[in-house]
Amino acid sequence: MYGFTNLDINPSINSPTRPVEAINYGGHWLDDEITGYTTLVVSGRHTFSRKINDVDLTGDGNMYLSSKLERRVIEVKFLIKTDSISEYNRQMEQLNILLAKPHQKLFFDD
Protein backbone atom coordinates (compact mmCIF):
# COMPACT_ATOMS: atom_id res chain seq x y z
CA MET A 1 0.00 0.00 0.00
CA TYR A 2 1.13 3.49 0.86
CA GLY A 3 4.23 4.28 2.94
CA PHE A 4 3.32 7.03 5.39
CA THR A 5 5.90 8.89 7.45
CA ASN A 6 5.34 10.06 11.00
CA LEU A 7 5.66 13.86 10.93
CA ASP A 8 5.74 14.34 14.70
CA ILE A 9 8.68 16.34 16.03
CA ASN A 10 11.44 14.07 17.29
CA PRO A 11 12.62 15.45 20.66
CA SER A 12 15.89 13.51 20.42
CA ILE A 13 17.05 15.73 17.53
CA ASN A 14 18.53 18.91 18.92
CA SER A 15 17.85 22.14 17.11
CA PRO A 16 20.76 24.54 16.54
CA THR A 17 21.57 26.63 19.59
CA ARG A 18 22.78 29.68 17.69
CA PRO A 19 21.46 31.50 14.62
CA VAL A 20 23.01 30.72 11.23
CA GLU A 21 24.31 34.30 11.15
CA ALA A 22 26.28 33.69 14.37
CA ILE A 23 29.82 35.05 14.19
CA ASN A 24 33.04 33.35 15.18
CA TYR A 25 35.73 36.00 15.57
CA GLY A 26 39.19 34.78 16.45
CA GLY A 27 37.89 31.44 17.70
CA HIS A 28 35.17 32.99 19.88
CA TRP A 29 31.47 32.45 19.15
CA LEU A 30 30.06 35.83 20.17
CA ASP A 31 26.55 34.42 20.62
CA ASP A 32 27.87 31.84 23.10
CA GLU A 33 30.50 33.81 25.00
CA ILE A 34 28.64 37.04 25.66
CA THR A 35 25.56 36.61 27.82
CA GLY A 36 22.49 38.13 26.19
CA TYR A 37 24.21 38.64 22.80
CA THR A 38 22.25 37.62 19.69
CA THR A 39 23.31 38.22 16.08
CA LEU A 40 20.30 39.60 14.20
CA VAL A 41 21.41 40.51 10.66
CA VAL A 42 24.71 40.37 8.78
CA SER A 43 25.16 42.23 5.49
CA GLY A 44 28.04 42.41 3.05
CA ARG A 45 28.92 38.72 3.16
CA HIS A 46 27.94 37.72 -0.36
CA THR A 47 28.87 40.86 -2.25
CA PHE A 48 32.29 41.38 -3.72
CA SER A 49 33.82 43.40 -6.50
CA ARG A 50 37.11 43.35 -8.34
CA LYS A 51 39.53 46.18 -8.88
CA ILE A 52 40.73 45.96 -12.47
CA ASN A 53 44.27 47.03 -13.35
CA ASP A 54 44.40 48.01 -17.02
CA VAL A 55 46.04 50.46 -19.40
CA ASP A 56 44.55 52.68 -22.09
CA LEU A 57 45.36 51.65 -25.63
CA THR A 58 46.07 54.14 -28.40
CA GLY A 59 42.96 52.91 -30.18
CA ASP A 60 39.65 52.06 -28.57
CA GLY A 61 39.48 50.18 -25.30
CA ASN A 62 41.82 49.10 -22.55
CA MET A 63 44.21 46.19 -22.07
CA TYR A 64 43.58 44.04 -19.02
CA LEU A 65 46.65 43.49 -16.83
CA SER A 66 45.35 42.02 -13.57
CA SER A 67 42.61 42.24 -10.97
CA LYS A 68 42.17 41.78 -7.25
CA LEU A 69 39.26 41.54 -4.86
CA GLU A 70 38.41 44.78 -3.13
CA ARG A 71 37.88 44.89 0.60
CA ARG A 72 34.39 44.24 1.92
CA VAL A 73 32.60 45.93 4.75
CA ILE A 74 30.69 43.42 6.88
CA GLU A 75 27.92 45.08 8.88
CA VAL A 76 26.50 43.21 11.87
CA LYS A 77 23.31 44.15 13.70
CA PHE A 78 23.03 42.51 17.09
CA LEU A 79 21.01 42.58 20.29
CA ILE A 80 22.39 42.57 23.81
CA LYS A 81 19.60 41.88 26.27
CA THR A 82 20.38 42.63 29.92
CA ASP A 83 18.54 43.58 33.09
CA SER A 84 20.61 46.62 34.05
CA ILE A 85 22.82 49.27 32.51
CA SER A 86 25.84 48.06 34.50
CA GLU A 87 25.38 44.54 33.11
CA TYR A 88 25.01 46.02 29.62
CA ASN A 89 28.27 47.95 30.07
CA ARG A 90 30.06 44.76 31.18
CA GLN A 91 28.79 42.85 28.15
CA MET A 92 29.84 45.66 25.79
CA GLU A 93 33.27 45.78 27.43
CA GLN A 94 33.65 42.03 26.92
CA LEU A 95 32.59 42.43 23.26
CA ASN A 96 35.09 45.26 22.73
CA ILE A 97 37.90 43.16 24.25
CA LEU A 98 37.14 40.29 21.85
CA LEU A 99 36.90 42.58 18.81
CA ALA A 100 40.00 44.66 19.63
CA LYS A 101 42.39 41.95 18.44
CA PRO A 102 43.45 42.71 14.84
CA HIS A 103 43.77 40.23 11.96
CA GLN A 104 41.49 37.52 13.34
CA LYS A 105 39.68 34.85 11.33
CA LEU A 106 35.99 35.61 10.85
CA PHE A 107 33.43 33.00 9.88
CA PHE A 108 29.75 32.26 10.32
CA ASP A 109 27.70 29.29 11.53
CA ASP A 110 26.08 28.45 8.20
Reported as a single tens digit per residue, the pLDDT across 22-42 is: 999 999 999 999 999 999 999
Cβ-proximal residues to 58 (8 Å cutoff; 6+ apart), any chain: none
pTM of the model: 0.67
Q: Which residues of the chain fall short of a pLDDT of 70?
A: 1, 10-16
**Farthest-apart Cα atoms in the chain, separation:** 77
* List of domains in the chain: 23-108 (2.40.30.200)
15 φ/ψ sector (left φ>0, alpha ψ -120 to 50, else beta) = beta
